[in-house]
Structure 1
Amino acid sequence: METFQSPLKQQNIGFRQSASVSGQARVVRVAFVLLEHFSLTTLSTAMDALATGNLINAETLYMVSTWSLKGGQVESDVGVSVSSQRLVAEGFNQDALIVIGGQRVRLAPQPLLRRVLKRTAGKGIVAGCWNAAFHLADAGLLGAEEFACHRDSYGLISEYFPQLKASSREFIVAQRRATCANAHAALDMTLAIMQELGSHNDAALLDEIKRVHQPAQGKPVGAADSVRPAAIPKPLNVAIDLMENNIEEPMEIDAIASHVGVSRRQLERRFARYLNAAPNRYYLELRLTRARQLIVQSDRSMTDVALATGFVSYPHFYKRFKDLFGLPPMTFRDYHYASDSASSGRYAVAATY
């Protein structure tokens, strides 16, 4: 079976892994404890990273649940409420517990949360977002380690725990304890937790999740833009731009070489040196990357997808897509978005809201 040769594999490797339907995914249970007036952006950032991980990785399934001290609806900092289960000390069994604080959250010791944090810390990861490091400190889980929290909370936390030192870093993950200072840092913190619990040695997968959530700034939108080497010759950049702008009606490689002012042989050498693939191979992988995006993100027919990505023959498109992604196009779509009970669990974050 073929595989991606060019740097485009960074965008597609997770989807190819998910096409491997043999075996069972490892289930990782992640619980979010919502404090009253919690930061909704922080929660959604962390949960979306886990949901993206489920979408593009078949090896680990993150099962997410939301909890609170009283249960029921918990109001966020923007007035949107999220439903939750009532937190209990007995029978609470999670691989990771992330407490979501916020700018409007009032801090005070909570004996029940303290017990649950201690119990979870015995075998899993505990984390606090925004000002929720307070509760990790209250449970005695920070020790002498530095912690991250929003700067507006430094004063209050230091009043309760003068022996602890707040860090200027936005997030810290060490010794199965994690803290972050704001919603932006929640992504990096969550990715670190995912690597610890579910995606060991899979830097490509985590980089892809981060790319999805933090696209490059100040650059034109393009399917291959984020995977181009930092310094490549201008003719090669122009050639890639031509390919990206001519997906539906692919250009001949000779025409591309002529347009950028080099010979075909020179263009082939530069593609091999900087992109590890011949120009026609890179072009094919670029078109199939676009096809994967259309299959997952739209309900267009497979024939339309084939035509939109420059394949005049559906059987040819079928074969090449299956070669690189491991499943036929329609099966690939069904596998990602099936709503029946047999297939929806792998890609759905199991939440209570």
Structure 2
Amino acid sequence: MEAQAEKSSGTHVPTFNLILQPEFPLNALVLASEALRIANQNSGREIFRWRFVSEDGAPVRASNGLWMSADDSLQTMVQADFYLVFEGNLPMQRNSPKLLNQLRTAARFGASIGAVDTGAFALAQAGLMSGRDVVLHWEAVPTFRERFPELNVNGQLYLVDGQRVSCAGGIATLDMMLDLIARLETSTLASEVANALVYVPRAATAAQRPDAPSTPVAQPALSDRIVGLMEQNLDFPLALEDIAERLGVSAKTLLRECRRRFDETPARLYLRIRLQAARNMLFYEEFGIKDIATACGFSYPGVLSRTFRAQFGMTPRDFRASLRRQQNQAYRPEVRRLSTVPPRV
């Protein structure tokens, strides 16, 4: 009722529900909320409102170990104009049906639904990204493509597409928030916020990584084309001659470029790219080792295990087990502590 009255009187204050998932990136949350706070401060009045939301209203642990208090639970959060999901390292395991249903409901009522970092998994699971480009952190892209092959992943910093917003996380969160502030208020205010944070805003289409071209070019560097072609063909690795033919160069030129830029042979470079993709899948998902081996172009799980161990010093199973132990120990430690304390007699 209050929000409707504000809208009818022309005094509506845009509201944000910042949804925190376990192991959410604290740096992104700080940048998002600080941008809104500074906008209010510089305006001398409340022009934005925001609330921190968790699944059950309890504090949530960030990826760096700090705990963040929540204002609301998914059940009690008030209707907002923007819902931004700050996701952690196990998105498919931590995105509950309640969260997905709340996002769908908010979208039906016309709210803007956004994702920070791996929050894109929640939007995709909720069926809210059909026919749209998706932006998420570059490390999670292979896993996302494996889960949602029908969706197109965009490698830029962030994307505002109507009522859908997604960004790569990290400092790109600030770029996205400055854009939203400019759209909701003025570009002048967005510039004031950027100046207060001693930051030079980047274009939405800028590349996520400094080693990638920030703008499309007619003919990318040969090294970029080599890596791009290899990353696009993980499951069925191309032969050296096929790579050279697709790139329109000789096999000798391909070998020379790989040695010059990466100090590796094309075969060894290709193997490292596939192993890194396998590592990211182990990090973000619970795919079976056989499935990961197939997705990354290894003929058998045993081949993946041997090469993975040679590269990272442990087998894929050991890597994931070690990672999950660390994550589980950090998740709701008060419950773990109570379960390990022997009862008094």
Aligned match of 1:211: 195
Aligned match of 1:107: 92
Aligned match of 2:170: 183
Contact 2:159 2:166 in 1 (8 A): yes
Once residues 29 and 200 of structure 2 are traced to their aligned partners in structure 1, the CA distance between those partners, rounded to angstroms, is 23
1:62 paired residue among 48, 61, 70? 48
Stretches of structure 2 lacking an aligned partner (at least 5 in a row): 1-8, 202-345
CA displacement at 1:160 relative to structure 2: 2.1
Contact 1:42 1:184 in 2 (8 A): yes
Once residues 49 and 22 of structure 2 are traced to their aligned partners in structure 1, the CA distance between those partners, rounded to angstroms, is 23
Q: Which amino acid aligns with 1:156?
A: T
Q: Which amino acid aligns with 1:212?
A: A
Q: Cα RMSD over matched residues?
A: 2.4
Where does 1:110-125 land on structure 2 (aligned, <5 Å)? Answer: 110-121=96-107, 122-125=109-112
Q: Which amino acid aligns with 2:32?
A: A
Q: Which 10-residue stretch deviates more, 157-166 or 83-92? A: 83-92
2:179 paired residue among 176, 187, 192? 192
Once residues 72 and 42 of structure 2 are traced to their aligned partners in structure 1, the CA distance between those partners, rounded to angstroms, is 31
Contact 1:35 1:68 in 2 (8 A): yes
1:139 paired residue among 106, 112, 126? 126
Where does 1:31-180 land on structure 2 (aligned, <5 Å)? Answer: 31-58=17-44, 61-89=47-75, 92-102=78-88, 104-108=89-93, 109-121=95-107, 122-180=109-167
Contact 1:129 1:182 in 2 (8 A): yes
Contact 1:28 1:60 in 2 (8 A): no
Q: Which amino acid aligns with 1:209?
A: V
Q: Which has the higher contact order (CA 8 A, sep 6+)?
A: 1
Other structure's SS at 1:33 match: strand
Runs (4+) of structure 1 moved beyond 4 Å? none
Q: Which amino acid aligns with 1:203?
A: S
CA displacement at 1:143 relative to structure 2: 1.7
Change (3 A) 1:71 1:216: closer
CA displacement at 1:91 relative to structure 2: 6.7
Other structure's SS at 1:191 match: helix
Q: Which amino acid aligns with 1:204?
A: T
- Tell me the TM-score normalised to structure 1 length: 0.50
Change (3 A) 1:88 1:100: closer
Once residues 38 and 72 of structure 2 are traced to their aligned partners in structure 1, the CA distance between those partners, rounded to angstroms, is 27
Once residues 167 and 77 of structure 1 are traced to their aligned partners in structure 2, the CA distance between those partners, rounded to angstroms, is 25
CA displacement at 1:105 relative to structure 2: 4.0
Once residues 200 and 162 of structure 2 are traced to their aligned partners in structure 1, the CA distance between those partners, rounded to angstroms, is 31
TM-superposition CA deviations, 1:155-214 (whole Å, max 9, x none): 222222110011110111111111111211001111223334x31xx1111112122224
TM-superposition CA deviations, 1:321-343 (whole Å, max 9, x none): xxxxxxxxxxxxxxxxxxxxxxx
CA displacement at 1:85 relative to structure 2: 4.2
- Tell me the TM-score normalised to structure 2 length: 0.51
Q: Which amino acid aligns with 2:145?
A: S
Change (3 A) 1:168 1:93: same
CA displacement at 1:68 relative to structure 2: 1.1
Higher CA-based Rg: 1
